[in-house]
Structure 1
Amino acid sequence: MRLVNKWGVRDRTLPSSISESRKLPTEEADNGVQPSDGLPCDSIHDTTGKKIISWEPNDKENPYNWSNRRKLFINITCMMTVTNSTMGSSLPSMAIPFMTREWGVTSDTQKVLPISTYLIGYVFGPLLWGPLSEHIGRRNLTTAALSLFTLWTLGCALSPNWSSFLIFRFLCGTFGSAPIAIVTGQLADIYEDSVSRGRALSFYFAWVALIYAGATLIPVVLFLPETYAPVLLTRRAQKLRKVDPTAQVYAAFELEEKGVNQVITKVLTRPIRMILTETIVTATCLYLALVYAIFYISFAAFPIVFQELYGLSPGVTGLLFLPIFGGVLISLVIFSAWGTFLRKSQERNRPWTKKEEYRRVPLAAIGGPIFAVSLFWLGFSAKIDVHYAVPSLAGIGFGIGFQLIFIGMLNYLTDAYEIFAASANAAASSARSFLAVVLPLATTPMFAQLGISGALGLLGGLSLLLSAIPFIFLWKGERIRAGSAFCIALKERKLEMQRKAEEEMGKRDGTTTIGGDSQEEKEVA
């Protein structure tokens, strides 16, 4: 029988023949092999006599059980770090004409580079930060990346020429992309309940640079705690060994291979393998990449529509982005209403609430068609004999659709992959950033060749086509997840945790028998 003390230590040793056969769910999923028992331990060698600690039910140090006040602080701090990235990506857009004039830059392609080079950093950065946060923890990585982001932002401000400015913009994008990949993992760390996690993510998605980055760095360095459970368990085991040097108490995370080869072949390649092998990740990346690229195309499209066609000034054109912000606010109202409806339905035990896909994907299913219609609206209403207010109102639908698509799809990624959420979101971030680099370069030629209605009609048609993806998830998502190695590993892990909780309750009631353990554990006992 397995005994567990108040520290969560399993009071039994692991014979090497048993311990060598067990692998972490992460490792199993990475290798495409279904885990045999879901126990959270990696390939362990020479571990005879070592005791493995894990969380106990209602463990106060488990991030899931932290106070709401502490979770709220983490959520707000994470939102601040993400705002650095989202602000930084488009911050120079209205200043580009002045910078290019000062440095003598005349090429139209060159004028797009301040945003494109930042987004190139977005392509490569998440592939590094997401999986690394699952390997070494979230906090230190966030602190280091944000510190360097602040330094590179200062470099942009002090750049003596165009080339150095672009280099610093690339570095800003690379290090500024860290929160995009890490934050979803942090929220998955602290919110076990999908509704609470979804609400937190919605605020995360709702939207100078140097000052703000420096101000954000202060709470990150001083107050942001580590949220990654394996790292926290490692610290607990280290404390136990410090108190009793003879204790052979370890966290499973400590016993994993952490060599350079392991990091390169398994950890850092995880987002790429998820794009290539996970249908949910592949489809989500494709859809979000298009939507994200269209968002950045709008920075070049709006001047074409409202300055060249209607003859408005740059200042007035900038104000016409406000309807998009209004649409974002409306989307948050829709999200809140959906969350209330979902919660009430769960309390009434409606069968549909048991399905993973019906928690957040319906939001994307609503937002997709709205987003596509907004593009058609802008494209076909932008005519010299139609007042500019009419096409500008398309921004409301644009903001609603954009926000609901991102809330729905990225929430689904987080819910579906949980401990792998950072890698899944890193894959999505890199994919959409890649397309956001490429498509805006074609904006001016596309509008010149197809005209305003033709170019926006093409983008609207593509958006409408891919808006079928959320509906496919609602229809076949459960079957898709059933064939996913990563989702299988998560399911096994949850079953193990549930079994542990039931055993612990049985011990407290004095009803636990050896029959509660698996056959393998009976043999060990």
Structure 2
Amino acid sequence: MATPIDAPAREEVVDKRNDTTAHIATEEGASEDSATEMNVDEKTATREAHPTKGDEDADGIKAEPTAQVLHHAPTTPGVDENNIVFWDGDDDPHNPYNWKRWVKVFNCVLISALTFVTPLASSMFAPGVPSLMREFKSDSKELASFCVSVYILGFAAGPMLFAPLSELYGRTRIYHVCNIGFIAFLIGCALAPTLNALIVFRFFSGVFGSCPVTNGGGSISDMITQQKRGAAMAGFSIGPLLGPIIGPVIGGIVADKLSWRWVFWILVIISGVISSLFFLLSRETYAPVLLQRKTDRLIKETGNINLRSKLDAGLTPRALFTRAILRPFKLLAFSPICAICNIFVGIAYGYLYIMFTSITPLFEQQYGFNSIHAGLAFLGLGVGSMIGVGYFSTESDRYMKKKAKEAGELAADEEEMARRPSVSAIKPEYRLPPLRAGAILLPVGLFIYGWTAQYKVHWIVPIIGTAIMGIGNLIIFMSLQLYLVDTFTIYAASALAANSVVRSLLGAVLPLAGGPMYEKLGLGWGNSLLAFIAVALIPVPWLFMRYGEYLRKRFAIENL
């Protein structure tokens, strides 16, 4: 067994296997891949204290006794060091962190495109519901609402299966299977002969459509270093927030000019094109799967059956599968970081879907908009979300680089920094400063929207309120999603799966309470009630920045 690497040392461990040399990254020069993915087994990492407990930086982020992440090799007990397979040095081109920039960008674009179209399907169908109900001769308001929300319930069910499976079999295989399933059930929706059949098909289209939303963040963390991950995640997060906003605008026009069935056919065409490109051009990003493939190839070439991947946890396939399936549930149940992030994001996401239930009737009844113009009123949320994307993508990465440079541990050259990211200087809590603005803007937007609509102020003012809410919503979503990714690293997909379950459940359930709430309290006090709940969450970013690191270590989960 290799010994731990001392904090100040710069040592290189060489793995010799039948004339094939694998260089294991040095402590300061390790890629983020080798810095984070070593944590596959809880026994593979220890930490050395550097800051004094209780110290804080200028932004109030508490410095706990953590710093260098130290690694033991190999991860599988009883395996000879000479039989361990890892990357061939810091610059191994097969390591996703070392891919060319255009390859990373192209893969991120493909993932973001998938992540845009599946949330788009959640609300694009909504304007066609009245004609659907007339065709199937039903006047049930509950069924009409359920036709829309059942898709979000599918979004809650799918992640608990597809996220852990992606950590077993790789990201791309799961994407391909889910893309096929998504398209197949969209076709079922377009051809549905009965209302019950449509509901079943729509649920399963939501199940399969949840895959890119859940696994996309994990794919991005597989290939983008921590200092540059903010911009990539901002692009990825446009889909889950902007897709449902644009959906009613497009769906209203399609349902009005063609029919509700054509909404699904258009989604089939868009999904088919993107899925085909993804199948032909995407690459696997998950390091444990890539290293296992490399190990299998070397075993075949050399005949040495004792070779093992450095990231092999040494478990049977059945044990690996059980552990992977249980991982999101463990995070939900035992990690306060995960639980609080999920509740915060879930409430913000639920508010977004409450807006979907109130904007159309508000602008049709109080401002005299027709169905197409009422759909355009959703663009306030869309514009706000885009402003939030621009703010977060620049501010988050800028702050991360600033804090790392203050620690004096980043190389001056950008490309060298990408290959050798600092581990000890970069805490997940450094993603949280933008969250302070988002937490404040969300209730401000709700107050403006509610009371200006209540008193029938010019229509542009409540739309401005929704735009402010959109900015806050995007920043909250992005900050906490990226915080989960940076916290759980190699298990980011499982952390995002747990987040997606809570978010989707609240997104499906809260709108059902929105209508009765507005009838009882009115738009002013109804939205004020939502805003007061959001106000109670404003301290969360400050508390996480001060105590987040303590919570991460105090409630570290064994045997993930």
- Do both proteins adopt the same fold according to a TM-score greater than 0.5, normalized to the shorter chain? yes
Distance 1:144 1:371 in 2: 37
Equivalent residue for 1:106?
139
Equivalent residue for 2:546?
475
Equivalent residue for 1:70?
103
Distance 2:74 2:519 in 1: 58
8 Å contact 2:403–2:426 — kept in the other structure?
no
Aligned in 2, Cα 1:3/1:300: closer, same or farther, shift over 3 Å?
A: closer
Q: Does structure 1 residue 223 correspond to structure 2 residue 256?
A: no
SS in 1 for 2:344: helix
Superposed displacement of residue 37, structure 1: 7.3
TM-score, scaled relative to structure 2: 0.78
Aligned in 2, Cα 1:416/1:254: closer, same or farther, shift over 3 Å?
A: closer
8 Å contact 1:132–1:268 — kept in the other structure?
yes
- 1:382-397 alignment runs, 5 A limit: 382-397=453-468
Q: Which amino acid aligns with 1:59?
A: D
Distance 1:259 1:245 in 2: 22
Superposed displacement of residue 485, structure 1: 2.1
Equivalent residue for 1:86?
119
Equivalent residue for 2:191?
158
Q: Which amino acid aligns with 2:98?
A: N
Distance 1:246 1:444 in 2: 66
Choose from 105, 111, 121 the match for 2:154: 121
Superposed displacement of residue 246, structure 1: 3.9
8 Å contact 1:127–1:427 — kept in the other structure?
yes
8 Å contact 1:355–1:478 — kept in the other structure?
no
Aligned in 2, Cα 1:187/1:214: closer, same or farther, shift over 3 Å?
A: same
Identity in percent: 28
Distance 2:342 2:214 in 1: 13
Equivalent residue for 1:232?
290
Equivalent residue for 1:211?
269
8 Å contact 2:428–2:486 — kept in the other structure?
no
Equivalent residue for 1:200?
232
Q: Which amino acid aligns with 2:491?
A: F
8 Å contact 1:29–1:489 — kept in the other structure?
no
Choose from 288, 298, 306 the match for 2:345: 288
SS in 1 for 2:84: strand
8 Å contact 1:10–1:52 — kept in the other structure?
no
Distance 1:7 1:178 in 2: 37
The superposition leaves residues 154-212 of structure 1 with CA deviations (integer Å, 9 ceiling, x where unpaired) of: 111111111111111100110100111111111111012x2311110001112321111
Distance 2:157 2:509 in 1: 14
SS in 2 for 1:395: helix
The superposition leaves residues 388-422 of structure 1 with CA deviations (integer Å, 9 ceiling, x where unpaired) of: 22212212101111111111111111111110111
SS in 2 for 1:225: coil
Superposed displacement of residue 478, structure 1: 1.8
The superposition leaves residues 316-369 of structure 1 with CA deviations (integer Å, 9 ceiling, x where unpaired) of: 211111111111221123124414642662475269994525532112211111
Choose from 427, 447, 467 the match for 2:498: 427
SS in 1 for 2:308: strand
Choose from 275, 289, 299 the match for 2:332: 275
Choose from 456, 460, 477 the match for 1:406: 477
SS in 1 for 2:94: coil
Distance 2:394 2:306 in 1: 51
Superposed displacement of residue 489, structure 1: 9.3
Aligned in 2, Cα 1:134/1:415: closer, same or farther, shift over 3 Å?
A: same
- 1:169-208 alignment runs, 5 A limit: 169-192=202-225, 194-206=226-238, 207=242, 208=266
Equivalent residue for 1:28?
42
Superposed displacement of residue 98, structure 1: 1.3
Aligned in 2, Cα 1:7/1:366: closer, same or farther, shift over 3 Å?
A: farther
8 Å contact 1:9–1:53 — kept in the other structure?
yes
Aligned in 2, Cα 1:205/1:268: closer, same or farther, shift over 3 Å?
A: same
Q: Which amino acid aligns with 2:83?
A: K
Equivalent residue for 1:333?
390
8 Å contact 2:404–2:426 — kept in the other structure?
no
Q: Does structure 1 residue 51 correspond to structure 2 residue 83?
A: yes
Distance 1:233 1:86 in 2: 33
8 Å contact 1:50–1:248 — kept in the other structure?
no
Distance 2:428 2:298 in 1: 41
Superposed displacement of residue 462, structure 1: 1.0
The superposition leaves residues 134-164 of structure 1 with CA deviations (integer Å, 9 ceiling, x where unpaired) of: 1221110111111111111111111111111
Q: Does structure 1 residue 148 correspond to structure 2 residue 159?
A: no
The superposition leaves residues 54-110 of structure 1 with CA deviations (integer Å, 9 ceiling, x where unpaired) of: 223222211111111110111001101111221111110111111112112211111
SS in 1 for 2:492: helix
The superposition leaves residues 259-281 of structure 1 with CA deviations (integer Å, 9 ceiling, x where unpaired) of: 445423x2111111101111110
Which moves more between the two structures, 407-416 or 205-214? 205-214
8 Å contact 1:288–1:432 — kept in the other structure?
yes
Q: Does structure 1 residue 455 correspond to structure 2 residue 523?
A: no
Superposed displacement of residue 48, structure 1: 7.0
Choose from 512, 515, 537 the match for 1:444: 515
Aligned in 2, Cα 1:49/1:322: closer, same or farther, shift over 3 Å?
A: closer
Aligned in 2, Cα 1:401/1:246: closer, same or farther, shift over 3 Å?
A: closer
Which moves more between the two structures, 280-289 or 98-107? 98-107
8 Å contact 1:139–1:225 — kept in the other structure?
yes
8 Å contact 2:446–2:528 — kept in the other structure?
yes
Distance 2:456 2:311 in 1: 66
Which moves more between the two structures, 266-275 or 1-10? 1-10
Distance 2:437 2:205 in 1: 34
SS in 2 for 1:454: helix
8 Å contact 2:40–2:313 — kept in the other structure?
no
Aligned in 2, Cα 1:85/1:7: closer, same or farther, shift over 3 Å?
A: farther
Equivalent residue for 1:518?
none
Distance 1:351 1:405 in 2: 30
Distance 2:211 2:446 in 1: 31
SS in 2 for 1:268: helix
